[in-house]
Amino acid sequence: MKTVRRALHVLVILPACSVVWIFLLFGGGSLSWAAGILLAAAFVYINVRPIPKEAAPTRRIRQLAAGCELLRLFLITATINAVWMALLLPSVIRDANSGWFFAGLFQAIWFITAVTIVFAEAALFWNGMIRVYLTSVQLGLKHRVLAALCGWVPFLNIWYLRKIIRIVSDEVEFETEKWELDETRAESEICKTKYPLLLVHGVFFRDFRYVNYWGRIPKELKRNGATVFYGQQQSAASVEDSGRELAERIRQILEETGCEKVNIIAHSKGGLDSRAAIAHAGCASCVATLTTINTPHRGCIFAEYLLGKVPESARQKIAAAYNTALRRLGDTNPDFLAAVTDLTESACLARNETTPDAEGVLYESVMSYCKKAQHGKFPLNMTYPIVKHFDGLNDGLVSVDSARWGSAFTLLDPVGKRGISHGDVVDLNRENIPGFDVREFYVNLTAFLKARGY
């Protein structure tokens, strides 16, 4: 109802402005100037503050909601104005040909109104679109590009604008509810565990300061009382080398915090690195729990197959290019081939024989899966069918059977047709997946550790 009311205001303001400008053209007095200024100010106010300040809890959500409201206003008012002006056009043309005394005046009013509407609607549209483009997470690159392309195609642009409004509106609602939930439980600090959390990334990624591997998860954990650290191991190295790096990192955290142990949450190869740190690098007494997320404990058959099929010269060229690039990004001694080889089935099965679970450390595991190839973002949508052929049900990289480890195993079943890919489970794409709140999953996981005294 509020959107409809604002749309009616715009529909009244625009033709009124046109009438005032006609009076000004014919030498209107101070009253006409005052009316023109008031009408212009009203339109500017709608653009500056399309929603009340208290309508959204944070600045980002408020700008997102405001952009969505402006796009709704544009869609409603532009449609009505276009129909209205089109219906008036035949009368204006007929009167112009009739030689009627006031025909020129009506033509002028129609023309000035049309120009006013075009510029005013453009202001509404671009104001809303810029706000949405700058603040939305869920639109992503794909929808931004497609919206720009569809904008040039009549009728298709209206359809895609409605799609953008729906996506943004859902995001505003979801993020508002998320914020309100965190506010209600802020004092309880449900994620304030006895031992700090250590988040360990997977292969081919690093813990960059401004591009978080774990997406929105760490911020959500901190809002609910958690103390969060990062593994900071190299992006690609053998499991044993990464394990030694993690062991040094764990000892550094214990020295900084004065805590006795850490709780490790590790994704993908990070779970193998963490097991190596505990079993082979002397960190068994420093770790309270290890929760592995989509970790290939029994390796990947498809990785072994690909390594066997790719010629040695090609493998070396790919490895050299990767190692050179990652040295520039901060890795001290990256080893692409060692990392990939350690993910094969034979390497993982052999390592399991020499890497027993440490006594006194709680080992648990989590796994998700996709139902279709297109559920994973590139390149997971391409690897999914290959992994399915060799390894069975998978998340785009790791099979469900390979991820099972420890005293408890949690399988995340997707709701409806949507799957949960290898990247989705760590919020790599910052995507709100229907039926799976990734941030709330980690809050609950951490809260359960706290409830058990960890």
The per-residue pLDDT for range 265-276, each reduced to its tens digit, is 999 999 999 999
Section 100-107 average pLDDT: 60
The answer to whether position 185 is within a domain reads no
Count the neighbouring beta carbons within 10 Å of the beta carbon of residue 382: 11
The answer on 256 and 322 residing in a single domain is yes
Counted domains in the chain: 2
First to last CA, the chain: 50
Backbone angles phi, psi at 360, to 5 degrees: 95, -5
Token digits for 389?
């052929």
Same domain membership, residue 223 and residue 163? no
C-alpha angle 375-378-381 in degrees, rounded to nearest 5:
45
Say if residue 154 is in the same domain as residue 221: no
Higher pLDDT, 403 or 140: 403
Shared domain check, 244 and 263: yes
Mean pLDDT within 183-205: 94
From 162, 180, 198, the end of a domain falls on 180
Residue 127 and residue 269 in one domain: no
CA 100 to CA 97: how far, in whole Å?
8
Q: Mean pLDDT over all residues of the chain? A: 86
From CA 127, how far away is CA 203, in angstroms rounded? 41
**Digit-coded pLDDT (tens) for 339-381:** 999 999 999 999 999 999 999 999 999 999 988 766 666 667 6
Burial of 284 by CB count in 10 Å (0-12 exposed, 13-18 middle, 19+ buried)?
Answer: middle
Evaluate the omega torsion of the peptide bond into residue 379 and state whether it is cis, within 30 degrees of 0: yes
Beta bridge partners of 228: 197
Say if 409 falls within a structural domain: yes
| More confident position, 6 or 262 | 262
Residue 241 CB contacts under 8 Å (≥ 6 apart), including other chains: 234, 333, 335, 338
Q: What is the pLDDT of residue 358?
A: 95
Q: How high is the pLDDT of residue 304?
A: 83
* Per-residue pLDDT, 21: 52
Q: Mark whether 197 and 118 lie in a shared domain.
A: no
Residues 321 and 408 in one domain: yes
CATH of the domain at 348: 3.40.50.1820
Q: What is the Cα–Cα distance from 162 to 73, expressed in whole angstroms? A: 12
Same domain, 164 and 258: no
Query: Token pair of 283, please?
Result: 């960190």
Domain identity same for 260 and 125: no
Is 176 in the same domain as 194? no
Closest CA to 378 of 441, 428, 308: 428
Residue 350 lies in a domain: yes
Tokens 């509106």: give the residue: 169
Name the pLDDT band for 152 (thresholds 50, 70, 90): confident
pLDDT at residue 375 in the model = 65
Q: How would you class 386 by CB atoms within 10 Å of its CB: exposed for 0-12, middle for 13-18, buried for 19 or more?
A: middle
Residue with tokens 């190295």: 237
Instruction: Identify the domain containing residue 36 by its residue range.
Output: 2-180
CA-CA-CA-CA torsion for 335, 340, 341, 346, nearest 10 degrees?
150
Residue percentage of the chain with pLDDT more than 70 = 86
Q: Examine residue 13 and state whether it is found in any structural domain, yes or no.
A: yes
Same domain flag for 348 and 267 = yes
DSSP state of 284: G
Whether residue 58 is contained in a domain is answered as yes
Instruction: Clarify whether residues 345 and 443 are in a common domain.
Output: yes
> Which band of pLDDT confidence, cut at 50, 70 and 90, is reported for residue 198?
very high
Query: Among 123-127, 285-289, 386-390, where is mean pLDDT lowest?
Result: 386-390
- The conformational region for residue 230 under phi > 0 = left, psi -120 to 50 = alpha, else beta, is beta
Across the range 4-18, mean pLDDT stands at 53
> Residue 236 has which token pair?
């690609």
Q: How far is CA 324 from the centre of its chain?
A: 30
Of 11-20, 48-57, 79-88, 255-264, the least confident: 11-20
Relative to beta strand 362-368, strand 287-293 is: parallel
Q: Has residue 86 been placed in a domain?
A: yes
Cα–Cα distance for residue pair 417/434, rounded to 1 Å: 10
Element holding 362 (H helix, E strand): strand 362-368
Contact 401, 356 (CB under 8 A): no
What is the rounded CA–CA span in Å between residue 77 and residue 258?
Answer: 62
**Of 180, 210, 227, which one is at a domain's C-terminal end?**
180
Q: 128, 155, 180: which is the final residue of a domain?
A: 180
> 414 in a domain, yes or no?
yes
Provide the b/e sequence for 125-163 (b: ≥16 CB within 10 Å): bebbbebbeebbbbbeeebeebbeebeeeeeeeeebbee
The pTM of this model reads: 0.85
